Every structure is written in structure tokens, then in C-alpha cells.
Structure 1
Amino acid sequence: MLYPTTLEHKLGFDTIRQRLKEACISPLGQDYVDKIRFTDNSQLIDKLLRQTDEFRQIVQFETDFPSSNYIDIRAHLSRARVEGLALSEAEFFDIKLALRTVQDCFRFLAKRAETNAFPYLRELAQMGGTGATGVDKKLTDAIERVIDDRGLVRDSASPELASIRRRIISEQANLRKRLDSILRQARQNGWIPDDLSLTVRGGRLVIPIAAEHKRKIKGFVHDESQTGQTVFLEPAEVFDANNEIRELEYEERREIHRILLALTDQLRPHLEEVRKAVNFLAQIDFIRAKAKLALQLDAVLPKLVDRPLIDWTNARHPLLFLSFQKPVPNADGSPGERKSVVPLSVRLDEKARILIISGPNAGGKSVALKTIGLIQYMLQCGMLVPMADFSEMGVFQNLFIDIGDEQSLENDLSTYSSHLTAMKQFVIGANKRTLFLIDEFGTGTEPGLGGAIAESILEELNKSAAYGVINTHYTNLKVFADKTPGLVNGAMRFDGEHLEPLYQLEIGRPGSSFAFEIAQKIGLPKGVIERAKEKLGNQQVNFEKLLKELDIERRVFAEKNLEIGINQRKAAQQLAEYTALKTRLDNEQKQLINDAKQKAKSLVQEANQRIENTIREIKENKAEREPTKQVRQELEKFDRTQLQPEALIVEKPQAVEDEFETDGGVIGVGSYVRIAGQNAIGQVQSMRGKDAEVRIGDLKSNVKLNRLEKVSRKEFRNATEKKDDTPRSRGMDINEKMQNFNFNLDIRGKRGEEAIGEVDRFVDDALMLGFPELRIVHGKGDGILRTLVRNHLRGYKQVARMADEHADRGGAGVTVVTMK
């Protein structure tokens, strides 16, 4: 049940109908647009949605589907029912083209049957035609044999017609020769200008001749020019030839009528068959129009459930979305920026069936209400809807709305009376499969009384287990929703600092009307505002103030939570990297130990085997000297080659000879010196003649003075500083991958294979690093790359959901991936 009767107009679905009609190719599809009806049959809705979704794929990716000659031949078929009536050549030509289009559609779908593509459209083809070939082939062959591709009856339609047309051609050729001769003679005499030639008047060949010379050629004047200077004359000597041609043309016309009459009689038994084919053509035109509109709206096929449910993500008002496609021109006439629709996310289920939306005026409450009503109505009319493809939509039996003013002078209804009349219908007809939408609940009368009545009505609607969305400013309804099971508050977000609406719905808390703040921004005198607060009372003012403060605190804590979440992800990522590194090192250590044990085991086995062989050979040779010596040598060789430890190759760093600056002067006790040709630097402790006792580190040595070079204290200090030359092992930097990872991936302009490869690497890194949310920038375009990426991501069991980015940050051109 729908209420009121003007529901489609109030929701804007009449505009959707008009756009569908404009998308149709012929009146066939337009008639189906007029037949669109709201239904609660979930199986029918699912079939209609899947047909449209399949055709959307055809429009996007299949270029060879027939797109012309969707001709409405229903009137022709009605005329063909009359016995003794023959259809015209033009009517049969329309029938020929329409049936050809039907057969092309059938052939297209039959080719895809091998891959099981488009199953719902193939089912429609079987129901709309008489099997895979559509209309009886004998009928189509007969029409093809009679009517050519210009819409005329073929010469070969009958032997009589072919003979008549040959005679007409022959007579016309003879007649033209005779007239050409007369025309040349008249031109030589100057009676006819050189730029004139033979023409036809009244179906007869005539000669154009100057009016002053018309009596110089005997004949009959058929016509004259607008100026009267030229007359069109049929010479008397070709009267008989023209008459003969005219009689042949009459004979041709009678033969054509006979052929068309016979063809009409052949068509008449197949009229029902052809009517079904035309009906299939009409449905294809209609479904194509829905698919085209779905592409314009970026609409999708949501998950359909056969119970009342609204679980929508990023739903967009269809008409608002279409109106924003064209940029609004600036005041100077230059093209402005294209606006974007703020998406709506809402959920109504058994625990929270009725949503009470509050907030400031012009904050988007009515648009949100109409978005819910229009999208639900479109779905239950079999149309794809603009929202995220993982959204869930239920089916409702009743749809009631109270939007706008139903004031009626004829019915003596005021605004409030019209609202109460609607509420009476809601309370009487509401049940657990009802969706109701109420705008400005309880307004139109004294606020105290209106709020009380509205609360009582809301209580009755809640008892009926109906689902609904209500817009209101009444505080008592917000409090009632907060305390009553089955009801939930919602608010249209508002920027309290800049006093601007954000048009975003937030479920879980009531909203403030911001009446005083808006009045202050408009410039209402401060004294007026203060007196209004006094008149309102402290309780209400404090309530509004509390809502405002809660909104500010919510934004602050949201930012803090975001920062904490980032830090937690970083900590979790570092822990995961440390754990992975430790596990890898432990496994490598175990592997080395296992390899060493295995090799030792094999060496021991081989050594034991050789010892046993040696003992056996010594016994067999009875301890003879030479054989025993040879056996011992072989055993010693095995020990040297197999059992000795491998020498480790340690690369020593090459010493780089330091360059020292000498310090001129006499060497004495306490001087810093260097032994010539060496890098060692020490200090002179004592001197004995030409010898000096030099302390180098912990060693003392006597060195000749001529072998010493004096250096400065700075060089001594630099040379004696301890250097750490110990080689260090290098490992993986566990933070490097985290620092270099970017949760944004831009694949615009890439081919499908390249994009999928990059997406796989991107998701693998994100899973390893523990990122909960990713952004993939693919652009809008025709939506092909976006569809390809999302279909591929559905294969990841770690992906929890996908959604379009906020409209201000890329909208449908960016997919936000949430990981489990």
C-alpha cells in the first residue's frame, strides 16, 4: 500500500520516469516506463534488478548488441487482423526491420549461452519469443523475399511483376528517346534554354518550353512555372506512349496489391507470435533505458533480503546527483566547479527501527528523508540504486510518507489538519512491514500540544513494529527516542564554529537546532537573543548548550582516537616485524644445527665404515707391512680431507697509511715522535747520547735519534685514540618497510593487468604491516577500472568492506578498503 496518491510526485519519482522515457529508443519502451509499479514481491524485484544489471554490463562492454530499428509495429498488426485488408510496403518494411532486430537480439544472447553469460536476459528471450529463433523462419523469409532493403516490393516477388516492370522500363526508354529528339530540335530552334531537361508532371514525361513558343509544338500543357515564363508540355506524338506507360503502372500497382494481400494473409496466423516478439523488443528497450540511467547515477545492484531492513552505505539522492553533474556557472558566466553530493549512510533493523533526525533548518534533514524514500521506491520498482554495492536493502509492503504541505481549500483542510489526516492513515495501516517517512513531525499548531500529540503517535507507531524516519525539532521526541527501545536518535551534523551545515547524518545522538547561533550570525540584535533565552528558560537553553558541547567534544575525541589508532597500528606493526624477524632467525639457527648434525652423522658413519674396512683388511693381510701401511695411509688421508675443520676466511681490512704532519725542532725528553717509515707514534722518556728511550703504548724501546721524526701533540692525540675496527653484522631494519609504505595507491591510467598486479602487491604489504584501511585511486571515467579492482578485491578473505571515498576527497574515483 502506498500513501498518499501523490507519493511519486513528492519523492520525485515522476522525474525519474521522464528520464527513463528520454532514454528509450521507441514508444515501445516508453509504454513500459508508464507501467512501472511498486511491488513487494522480492523474487520479481530480484529478477528485474538482475536483468538491469546484466544490461548495464552490455551497455558498458558489448558494442555489437542491436541498438536501432526498435520500431513500434503494434498498429500494423492490428490492421493485419482485418480479413481482406493488405498492409502497405512501408508497413511491411517496418515489420521486417523490427523482426530483424528481434532476431539479432536472440542471436547475440544465444552466442553468450556457451559461457552462461546474461542468464536472466536469455530467460527473458525464451519467454518473449517462440524459442531461440523468435518468429517462424518461413514468415521472415517470405517478407524478405517480397520486401527489399529500400522498403519496396522486389521485382522477383512474382513473375507477373517482373514482366510488367521490364515492359515499363522498355517503354520509358523508347519514350525518352523520342522526347530527347524533340528536345534537341526545340533547343536548336531556340525555344528551350540549354539548362532545362526532361521532367515529370502528373506521372508523365514532359518538355519544359518557353511560354511564347508553346504553340510551336503540338501537345498538351500539364503545368507552368511560378513566373509563368515556362510551361511543361507533353507533345502529341508521345500521348500514346505515355498512356501505355500509365496503364502498365496501374497494372503494376494491382500486382503489388495482390502480392501484399497474399503476404498479409500469410502473416495473419502468426500475429500472436509476432506480438510476443514485439513485446520482447519493448522490454529490451525498457531495460536498456534503466541500464543507461543506472550508469548515469553510478547505481549498483545491492544485496537484497526478503525482510524489512535498511543498511545503506554512501547512498546518494538520484536527482541531486544528476543535477550536480553539470557545473554551475559563475556570476561572470565562466564555468564553475561541479558540486558533489554528500552521501548518506543509515541503518534500520529490528533493534533500531525508527530514526528520529534532528538538527538545524537547511541542514539536510528533508533531503535525507527524500533520499531514503526515493531510493527504496526505485528498488521496489526494479531499478538499480546509487549506493555502495555491499549495502543491504530489504523489502517493505507499505510505504507511507508525509512530506510537504497538503493544505486543501476544496476539502477544508489546514496544514495541521492535513498532517493529522496522514497520521491517522499511518496509525491504522502501519505494520511490521511498513516504512513511513515524516517531515517536520508535529508542526503546524501550538508547540506544547503538537509535541504531546506527536509523542503519542510515535508511541503507537513503535508498538506496530513499523520502520520509519522522522524529522523534528521537538525536544520531548528526542528524549522519548533516547529512552524507548526500538527508537534511535540521529543528527544532521553542523559546524558550530563556522555555523555551516555539513549535510552528514550521525546516528546515535540528537542534534541541536542552533537557533540562537544562526540568529546571531544573521545579525539579530543581541538584546533580542538574550531576552529569547530568558523566555525559553534555563532548562531548554542548557539542553541546547549541552548538545553543542557534546558535538565539540565528540570531534576532539574523534581526533584523539584517530591519533591513538595510528600509534597502535605502528606499535602492532613493529611488534609483528620483530616477531617475524625473531622467528626467521630461530628457524635459520635450527636449520644450521640440523644440517651440521646431519653432516656429522654421515661423517661418523663413513669413518666407522672405513675403520671397520681397515681392520678387516689388516686381518685379511695378516698384518703384513706394506698392505697395512697402505691402509693406514688411506685412513689418514680421509682424516685430513673429511674430518679436519674448514678454515674460516676472515677478510682483514687493509691498513691505510696515515699521513702525519712533522713538527720541526729538536727532539728532547717529552717530545712526541714517530719512527720513520712506520705509523707508530710515541713519547720520548729519556735520552742517552744518540739513543732515545721511546714509549709506544705499553712498550718501551731504544731507537736511534736519526730514525725519529718529531710530530705535534695534536697528531699524537689523534693517532693514539682508540678505534673500533670490529666488523659489525648487518640485519634488516624493521622500521624501514613501515616508513616507506604508503596506504594510498594510484593506478590511474594503467591497464587492467598492470593495475591488478600493483593492487596485489599493495594488499600483501598492507596485510604484512597490519594496516586496517587502504585507499586505491582509480579515477571515475566509465567505472571499468573501479569495477575490475573491486571484483578482484572480493577474492581476498581479509577484505571486510569497500566503499567510495568521501565526495570531497575523490568520491567514486577512490575506493576505501577496510581490512578485517
Structure 2
Amino acid sequence: MLYPNTLEQKLGFDKLRERLKEACISTLGQAFVEKIKFSENFTLVEKLVSQTAEMQRILEMGENFPSQNYIDATPYLKRAAIEGMLLTQAEFSDLKASLQTIKLCIRFFENQEPESYPILGEYSRNIRVDKAITDAIDRIIDDRGQIRDSASSELSRIRKRLISEQAGIRKKLDTILKSARSSGWIGDDVSLTVRNGRMVIPVAAEHKRKVKGFIHDESATGQTVFIEPTDVFESNNEIRELEYEERREINRILLELTSQLRPYVPDLQKAYGFLGLMDFLRAKAKLAAEMNAINPPFTNRQFIDWRNARHPLLHLSFQKQGKKVVPLNIELNEKQRILIVSGPNAGGKSVSLKTVGLIQYMFQCGLLVPVEEGSSMGFFQNIFIDIGDEQSLENDLSTYSSHLTNMRHFLTVSNRRTLFLIDEFGTGTEPGLGGAIAESILENLVKSGAYGVINTHYTNLKVLADKTDGLVNGAMRFDGEHLEPLYQLEIGRPGSSFAFEIASKIGLPEAVVNRAKEKLGKQQVNFEKLLKELDIERRVFAEKNIEVGIKERKLAKQLSDYTALKENLENNEKKIVNEAKQKAKNLISDANQLIENTIREIKENKAEKEKTKTVRTTLETFGKKNLALEEVVETAPAEEIYEPEGGDIVPGSYVRILGQTAIGEVLAIRGKDIEIRIGDLKSTVKLNRLEKVSNKTYRAATGEKKVKTVAKGVDLNERMLNFSFNLDMRGKRGEEALGLVDQFMDNAIMLGYDELRIVHGKGDGILRTLVRNHLRGYSQVRDMQDEHSDRGGAGVTIVKLK
């Protein structure tokens, strides 16, 4: 069910319908456009959209699909079905061209795999154009739409006689023309012409008596007359008779051809329905291409899940201007069925509302929709809208009364299969009463289980959405700094109307604005202010998140490069060692060979056996000693031994962090927080996590002796992931706050941040002064300044590092 009956006009679908008509080639396709309507049948919608998607694939792939001669010949077929009627030569020419297009469409699908275009292929297999009738028409009508001479033997005879007679009369007239030209009765540029179906000579009016014949016509100026000479009267009469015979024979042929066509009329009417469908689908596919529309997954349940949805008409309009529409991301499901959208006027609320309605309506009319991949379409049986001024003078209804009439219908008929859209909910009457009635209506709509989108400025509806299951707030984003709409929908939080800011921007006196704030009340002003600050904070953190993401990617790349370099060095080391082993083996092998030769010489010279045995034993010992070349085994470093030391931990003491191997020096003690230095790194650690160690252990750890240690200490990756550039210390005491600042600064300096944000609040300025004086003690601090007034002003310190 659709409500109201002007829904198409309010959503703008009537304009899309006109575009589809313009995209059609013939009235056949346009007739299908006129029949487009919203369907409440899930299976039918799925079929309509799928067949459009199939045609879109055909056009996108550049397939050789017919694109001309989509001619509506159905009126001819209706006449041909009547006994005794005949179709004209022009009508048979249209039939021949359009039947050829139908055959090409059928042949296209015959040449495709059945699974390529299952729906359209099935349609084409049910269409029959009998070859007998197309051959019969082709025997009579040539490719130029003329009757062939071979259509009948009688027609062939008549046309041959006509040609002969026309040649004879032309010869006679040429002779007369030459004579008249030589006599000066006509000009040199004059030639034969035809008047009333008879061949004549143009003669100057003053010489018309000099040429014997019949005057058929004269020029507009009266200076030229067209004379049929007496000598060609009979020949012209003969030609006229032959033309009448030709016409009678052609009518006989066409009457016979129409009779041949008559039995095939039912099949041909079905074929032209198929041709109209192809034209219609081509138009829908072309419109989809202009909108970059797709066929998203379609499910028989109620929900909306769209990514980068674009208003179809805005998309087409902006495309011509070279601009892009700000896309809409929206999701409605069982947990958040009704979206309450708030935000400033002219911020895009109404456009977003119409985008939702038009896209859902388009899809259930069988059109592809302008959303991106990853989107999904739900199914609704009812679409109700309340958009625009419905004031009616005829029914004596005010705008507000009209809205309430619509609400009565919504409350009466809405169910879980309903999608409703309400623009400027509750307006048109006294705000307090309007807000109360709107809240009551909304509560009932929630109970109905319906899905919907509502635009409003009422704070009570925003609050209700925040605490009611099934409702969710949404905001049209607004640049609070430049006071410009961003036209982006953000679901999950309410939006501010920015009424005071916009009033100030357009030049309303400041005193008037301030007085308005006083009249509104502190609670409402604070609510609007909080919404504005939340939006600003969100944008600040979004920008910082982008920066952090860039740094994380850079760090990941550096880590990857380091790992690759390390592996390369290890491989090179193994390669060098193995090459050295091989060289050593070769060297010893050569030495062995030399020694064997020496022993052989000794034997040959009959040396003592005992001496030879001694030499061989020495040789084997030498070989075993030098050829013990096994794989390098990496041995774990020996466990380090730390010498604990008794006594209290005081500034200057050497300590070890329990569970770690890092050794540091105590710099300062603040209660149970101990500031230590490990190399160039400062850090604050709880006292119960430290163990005092001896000076010897510290010297060994710092490298004064050649003791191999493994320094673990700080995990930079973990610090990077857990670190936030924003420190909020509101409500902290002085000593506790300074400890947090020191830890915050140590991590920031170690991780290489160049800008930090410390939130201390305004108050009396005590904490701000304490923090800034403390920061001046850091040599790494380049500058400090207040945050932008829209983002906290003097309540936030921006710290810039060197």
C-alpha cells in the first residue's frame, strides 16, 4: 500500500519515469514505462530487477544487441486481423524492419549459454516468428521498402511497358525542348518536369502560343507556364493508364500478402510485446548506467543497509555539472527500526529522507538503484510518507491538520512491513504541544513494529530516541567552525540545530542572540552547546586518528624493512661461514693428498713401518681437529645475576624493575611514585615494583665492563598502540596531575610526537597555570597555546614539541 496517492510526485519518481520514456526508442517501450508500478510481491520484484540487471550486463559487455527499428506494428496487426483489410506498402516496410529486429534479439539469446541470461533467454524461447511470413514479406518488399518488380509477373510486365513508354516520350520531348531552346522560347537551363503526373516543358509566358499543347500549370510569378505538347498526349495517356494498372496490381499483391499474414497475427502480437520489453529494458539499463546503479542482494525481510546511496535525481543533475553528490550511509534493523534525524536547516535532512523513499520505491518498481557494492535491499509492503505542505483549501485543512490526518493513517495501518518517512515531525503548531503530540505518536509507531525515518528539531524526541529500544538518533553533520553543512548523516548521536550560531553568522545583533539564549533557559542552551562540542571533538579526534594511522603504517613499514634486513644479514653470515668451511675442507683435503703422497714415497723407499704409522696417526689427528665443521649452534646467553642491596631507595640509588632486566638510577621520589632514568629514558614507576641493586650491578649493566646483557626495558610498539596524544586531567589534584604530565611527556618524547593536547578545564585557572609552569621546565617544549575557542579554548593547552 502506498500513501498518499501523490507519493510518486513527492519523491520525484515521476521525473525518473519521464527520463525512461525519453530513453525508449519506440512507443512499445514507452507503453511499458507507463505501466511501471510499485509491487508488493517479493518474487515479482526479484524477477523485474533481475531482468533489468541482465540487460545491463548485455550493454556493459558491448554485446551485439539490436539498437534500432523498435517499431510498434501492433496497430497494423489489428487491422490485418480483419478479413478483407490490406496493409499499405509503408506498413509492410515497417513490419519487415521490426520483424528483423525481433529475429536478431531471439538469435542473440540463442547464441548465449542458458545460464548467462536465464530470464531473458527464457522469454526469447517463448517467442515465435514463423519463417514463412518473413520470407513472404521479403519476396514482395525490398530493403528500401519498395514493391519488388518480381512480386508478380503482371507487375513485372506493367513496369517494363512503363519504362518503355517513358523512354519514348522523353525522346520526343527532348526533341521539342531543343527546338524551343534554339528558337529562344526557353532558357538554356530549363529541363523537362512533371505536372499532374504528366511530362511537360517549362516555357516563358510570352511564348506560350508558339508551342502547341495543353497548359497544366504556371509558376508563382506567372512568368513560366508548363505545357504538355500535343505530340505526346497519347503517350502520356498511355503512361497514366499503366500507372493505374500498376497501382491495382500492387493493391492485389498487398491484399494477398495481408491474407497470408492473418493466421500469424496472434504469434506476431506476442513477438511485438517481447520487442517492447526489450526496448523498455534497454531504457532501464541505460538509466542505471547513468546513475552507476547496481542490483544489490535482495532479502524477503524488513531492513535497510545501504552504502554510499545517492539521490538518483541529484546524481543525474550533478553529473551534468561535473559535481558529486554527498552519499548516504544508513542502516535500519530490528534493534534500530526508526531513525530520528536532527540537525540545522538546509543541512540535508529532507534530501536524505527522500533518498531513502525514492531508492526503496525504485527498487520495488523493478529499477536498479544507485548504491555501492556491500549494500543490501529489504522488502516492504507499505510505504507511507508525510513530506511537504499539505494545506488544503478545498477540505478546510491547515498544514498541521493535514499532518495529523497523515499521522492518523500511519497509526491505523502501520505494521512490521511498513516503511514510513516523516519530514519536520510535529511542526505547524505551538512547539510545546506539538512536541508532546509528536512524542506520543512516535511511541505508538514504535509499538507497531514499523520502520521509518523522521526529521525533527524537537529535543524531547532526541531524548526519547536515546532511551527507547527500536529508536536511534542520527545527525546531519555540520562544520561548527565555519558554520557550513556537510550533508553527511551520522547515526548514533543527535544533531544540534546551530540556531544561535547561524543567527550570529547572518548578522543578527549579538544582544538579540544573547537575550534569546536567556529566554531559552540554561539547560537547553547547555544541551545544544554539548552537542556542538561533541561534534567538534569528534572531528579533532578523527583528524588525529588519521595522523596516528599514517604513523602506524610508517612504523609497520620500518619494522618490515628491519626484519628483512636482519634476515638478509643472517643469511649472508651463514653463507660466509659455509664458504669458509668449504675452503678449509678443500685446504685440508689438499694437505691430506700431499701427505699421502709423501707416505707413498716413504713406502716406495722402504721406510720403517713404525715411522709411517706414526706419521699417519699424526695426520688423522690433525684432520679430525680441523674438520670438525658442524652447523653453528646458537647458545642462549647466560642468565644475568643481579646483586640486591639492602637499605631504602633514595634519589641516586640504583634499582631494577621487578620482572625486567633494565637497571636505572632514581632521580626523584614523589610519595609512592619513583622517577627513574634508564639510559636516556625517564619513567615513573611505583615503589613496590623496584628492587635496589649494587653499584657493581649498575656498572655491569651500563657497559663499563665487557659483560654481555640483553636490554629489554620498553616495548615501543606497545607504547605506540596504547599512547593517546590527548591527556584529560580534569578533577586531578596538583601533585597527581604533575605526575601524569611527566609520564605523558616522557612517552610523547620517546615516541616522537610533535603536538600534544592537555585538557585541564578552565575553572579558576590554577591547574592550567601549574601545568604550564611545569611544562616550561622541559627543554623539548617549543611552544604552548590555548586550543581553538570552538574546541575548548583556555580549558585546553596545545603543547608543541621540538
Change (3 A) 1:45 1:589: farther
**Residue-by-residue CA offset, 1:19-59 (whole Å, 9 max, x unaligned):** 11111112111111111111133333333333333333433
| 1:155 partnered with 2:149 | yes
Q: In structure 2, what is the equivalent of residue 35 of structure 1?
A: 35
1:588 CA displacement: 8.8
Q: In structure 2, what is the equivalent of residue 694 of structure 1?
A: none
**Local SS of the residue matching 2:111:** helix
Quote the Cα distance in structure 1 between the aligned partners of 2:133 and 2:162.
30
| 1:189 partnered with 2:183 | yes
**Residue-by-residue CA offset, 1:361-399 (whole Å, 9 max, x unaligned):** 111111111111111111111212222122112111111
Name the aligned partner's letter for residue 246 of structure 1. R
8 Å CA contact 2:54–2:120 kept in 1: the answer is: no
8 Å CA contact 1:124–1:280 kept in 2: the answer is: no
Quote the Cα distance in structure 1 between the aligned partners of 2:103 and 2:622.
90
Q: In structure 2, what is the equivalent of residue 345 of structure 1?
A: 329
**Local SS of the residue matching 1:301:** coil
Change (3 A) 1:567 1:194: closer
1:498 CA displacement: 1.4
**Residue-by-residue CA offset, 1:582-626 (whole Å, 9 max, x unaligned):** 67878899999999999999xxxxxxxxxxxxxxxx9xxxxx999
**Residue-by-residue CA offset, 1:614-650 (whole Å, 9 max, x unaligned):** xxxx9xxxxx999999999999999999997699xxx
Q: In structure 1, what is the equivalent of residue 82 of structure 2?
A: 82
| 1:504 partnered with 2:500 | no
**Residue-by-residue CA offset, 1:52-107 (whole Å, 9 max, x unaligned):** 33333433441632211111112111111111011000000000010111112222
1:306 CA displacement: 2.1
Q: In structure 2, what is the equivalent of residue 702 of structure 1?
A: none
8 Å CA contact 1:125–1:280 kept in 2: the answer is: no
Quote the Cα distance in structure 2 between the aligned partners of 1:391 and 1:98.
40
Q: How does 1:235-314 map to 2 (within 5 A)?
A: 235-314=229-308
8 Å CA contact 1:359–1:365 kept in 2: the answer is: yes
Q: How does 1:584-599 map to 2 (within 5 A)?
A: none
Quote the Cα distance in structure 2 between the aligned partners of 1:629 and 1:246.
144
Q: In structure 1, what is the equivalent of residue 311 of structure 2?
A: 317
Change (3 A) 1:440 1:626: same
Quote the Cα distance in structure 2 between the aligned partners of 1:194 and 1:459.
96
Q: In structure 2, what is the equivalent of residue 791 of structure 1?
A: none
Q: 1:529 aligns with which of 501, 513, 516?
A: 513
Instruction: Answer with 565-574 or 45-54: which moved more.
Output: 565-574
Q: In structure 2, what is the equivalent of residue 124 of structure 1?
A: 120
**Local SS of the residue matching 1:325:** helix
Quote the Cα distance in structure 2 between the aligned partners of 1:437 and 1:88.
55
Instruction: Answer with 394-403 or 38-47: which moved more.
Output: 38-47
8 Å CA contact 2:399–2:428 kept in 1: the answer is: yes
Identity %: 66
Q: How does 1:9-408 map to 2 (within 5 A)?
A: 9-62=9-62, 64-113=64-113, 119=115, 121=117, 123-128=119-124, 130-131=126-127, 134-327=128-321, 338-408=322-392
Give ranges in structure 2 of 5+ residues lacking alignment: 586-599, 601-605, 630-716, 718-802
Change (3 A) 1:567 1:277: same
Q: 1:516 aligns with which of 500, 507, 510?
A: 500
1:515 CA displacement: 0.9
8 Å CA contact 1:110–1:122 kept in 2: the answer is: no
Quote the Cα distance in structure 1 between the aligned partners of 2:63 and 2:542.
49
Quote the Cα distance in structure 2 between the aligned partners of 1:549 and 1:535.
22
8 Å CA contact 1:303–1:389 kept in 2: the answer is: no
**Residue-by-residue CA offset, 1:658-694 (whole Å, 9 max, x unaligned):** xxxxxxxxxxxxxxxxxxxxxxxxxxxxxxxxxxxxx
Change (3 A) 1:188 1:590: closer
Instruction: Answer with 237-246 or 635-644: which moved more.
Output: 635-644
Name the aligned partner's letter for residue 123 of structure 2. M
TM-score when normalising by structure 2? 0.71
| 1:542 partnered with 2:538 | no
Name the aligned partner's letter for residue 127 of structure 1. Y
1:556 CA displacement: 2.3
Q: How does 1:366-515 map to 2 (within 5 A)?
A: 366-515=350-499
**Local SS of the residue matching 2:82:** coil
Name the aligned partner's letter for residue 317 of structure 1. H
**Local SS of the residue matching 2:132:** helix
**Local SS of the residue matching 1:324:** helix
1:301 CA displacement: 2.4
8 Å CA contact 2:28–2:72 kept in 1: the answer is: yes
Q: How does 1:751-766 map to 2 (within 5 A)?
A: none
CA RMSD of aligned residues (A): 3.9
Give ranges in structure 1 of 5+ residues lacking alignment: 328-337, 602-617, 619-623, 648-734, 736-820
1:138 CA displacement: 1.0
Quote the Cα distance in structure 1 between the aligned partners of 2:459 and 2:466.
11
1:572 CA displacement: 4.7
8 Å CA contact 1:359–1:513 kept in 2: the answer is: yes
8 Å CA contact 2:109–2:124 kept in 1: the answer is: no
Change (3 A) 1:635 1:96: farther
**Residue-by-residue CA offset, 1:169-227 (whole Å, 9 max, x unaligned):** 11111122222222223333333332222211111112222333333333222112222
8 Å CA contact 1:128–1:276 kept in 2: the answer is: no
How many residue pairs were aligned?
625
**Local SS of the residue matching 2:419:** strand
1:269 CA displacement: 1.0
Change (3 A) 1:550 1:642: same
Quote the Cα distance in structure 1 between the aligned partners of 2:84 and 2:244.
20
Q: In structure 2, what is the equivalent of residue 5 of structure 1?
A: 5
Change (3 A) 1:597 1:397: farther
8 Å CA contact 1:32–1:286 kept in 2: the answer is: yes
Quote the Cα distance in structure 1 between the aligned partners of 2:77 and 2:580.
93
**Residue-by-residue CA offset, 1:410-464 (whole Å, 9 max, x unaligned):** 1111101110111111111111111111000001111111111111111111111
Change (3 A) 1:77 1:594: farther
1:108 CA displacement: 2.8
TM-score when normalising by structure 1? 0.69
1:540 CA displacement: 1.0
